[in-house]
Chains A and B, each alone.
Chain A
Amino acid sequence: MKDLIIAGSGPAGLSAAVYASNAMLDFVVIEKFPMSGGQMLNTYEINNYLGFELVDGFTLGQTFRAHAEKSGAQFVNDEITSIEKIDGGYRVICGKGECEAKTVIYALGANPRKLGAKGEKDFAGRGVSYCATCDGNFFRGRPTAVIGGGDVALEDALYLANICSEVYLIHRRDEFRGAKYLQDKVLKNEKIKILYSTQVEEIRGENKVESLLLDNGDELKVDGVFVAVGIEANTALAEGICELENGFVKAGESGETTAEGFFAAGDVRTKRLRQISTSVGDGANAVHSVEEFLNKQQ
């Protein structure tokens, strides 16, 4: 039985891997794809991670991964299908095999939340997108909309304003939640047209997106719609093991959940600010808690 299984290889998982190597723990990182970084892979520009003035998410993810590999971390590419409590630890069952350890750091992150509007599902990949940096180029010179009011929505609108003829930024509230400097850039950008206190009722079209029906009755002609309405934490595999709260794994800064030997790190846990930097901090804290827990066991 290993000391530790780290589930996930976003910033929290990779940071945990570096700290676990330093702690000389017997551990493995299980990741779904042979590519690390999690949500930041889709981020066009990052300017608030210390030491990197301006970097794209993919490059930063690769940099993190290289550091973790160099520290000696072992990676397994497999999809976790379930986690079971066993005597003295946990069994993590994957598609291709299984693994047992005394402790688990659960760092499976989050995915973009769906809007829940009519037509959203039908037009996924036909004008509805959850990744502006992936799909923006398909809408070059054409009108698009971004839905949301947080950092990602503002970043997406700014990114698309470089490519598209016009960008409607549709937000259900009368002010944005995103960082002030992003708000400032958005307000100054002539290509971005802001629709406050507005919701999308339906995404319409024939074979692909052609327009949005708004709750004020207006129909907005757009070719693409980018949904950035927050995240949904990947908590499914922690259900039944520890307590969840408002859709996140209930855990404080130490990463301790309500289950002994089961720790949470990164976007998946209950916390106030979800950033790369806070996830990296979570990874370090979680390993510290793992060490304390293992020392007590001896």
Chain B
Amino acid sequence: MVKDIKTNEFEAKVLGSDKPVLVDFWASWCGPCKMLSPAVDAVSEQLDGKAEFYKVNVDEEPSLAQQFGIMSIPTLILFKNGELKDQSIGVIPESDIKAFVEKEI
């Protein structure tokens, strides 16, 4: 499952996790974001228990978008042990999302 995350929970839930954490930065007005999110949902089911999945609405949480220098959405960022491991911009297929997360499992 991909859960919404707010700025005040980000530190504890994302940066504080010892599992890989994928964060999907999106917005309601972004067509490609709506293409990507069902694929992220599917990967979150496949990797259930092995990785965490969150999404950030950049309209509601502009400070998180700014903190990570988001200038294009959708953007996926992979974290592990509080570190930013990798970043992917734009729509990518489900298999690529899975591989993107799996390399940190």
Complex CA–CA separation, A135 to B74 (angstroms) = 9
Q: Is B75 located at the chain interface by the 8 A CB criterion?
A: yes
Q: Is the CB of B31 within 8 A of A138?
A: no
Say whether B27 contacts A137, CB under 8 Å.
Answer: yes
Name the distance in Å between A170's Cβ and chain B's nearest Cβ.
Answer: 19
**Contact mask B59-98 → A, CB, 8 Å, 1/0?**
1000001000111111100000000000101110111000
Q: Establish whether residues B89 and A124, one from each chain, have CB atoms under 8 Å apart when the complex forms.
A: yes
Total number of A residues with any Cβ neighbor in B under 8 Å: 29
Question: B36 contacts the other chain (Cβ, under 8 Å)?
Answer: yes
A133 to B74, CA, bound (A): 12
| Inter-chain contacts of B87 with A (CB < 8 A) | 125
- Contact B31 A41, beta carbon cutoff 8 Å: yes
Find the B residue at minimum CB distance from A61: B31
Q: How far is the CA of A42 from the CA of B74 in the complex (A)?
A: 12
* A143 at the B interface (CB under 8 A): no
Interface size on B, residues (CB 8 A): 28
B34: A residues at CB distance < 8 A: 35, 41, 58
Chain A, 60-86, contact with B by CB distance < 8 Å: what is the 0/1 string? 010000000000000001010000000
Which of B32, B38, B39 is A134 in contact with, Cβ under 8 Å? B32
Q: How far is the CB of A76 from chain B (nearest CB, A)?
A: 12
The answer to whether B30 and A125 have CB atoms under 8 Å apart is no
Kindly state whether residue A57 has any CB partner on chain B within 8 Å.
yes
Given contacts A125-B71, A125-B87, 15 further A-B contacts (CB under 8 A): A33-B36, A35-B35, A41-B34, A42-B31, A58-B34, A125-B90, A133-B29, A133-B30, A134-B32, A134-B72, A135-B72, A137-B59, A138-B71, A207-B69, A224-B71
**A-to-B contact residues, CB < 8 Å:** 32-35, 37, 41-43, 57-58, 61, 77, 79, 95, 124-127, 129, 131, 133-135, 137-139, 207-208, 224
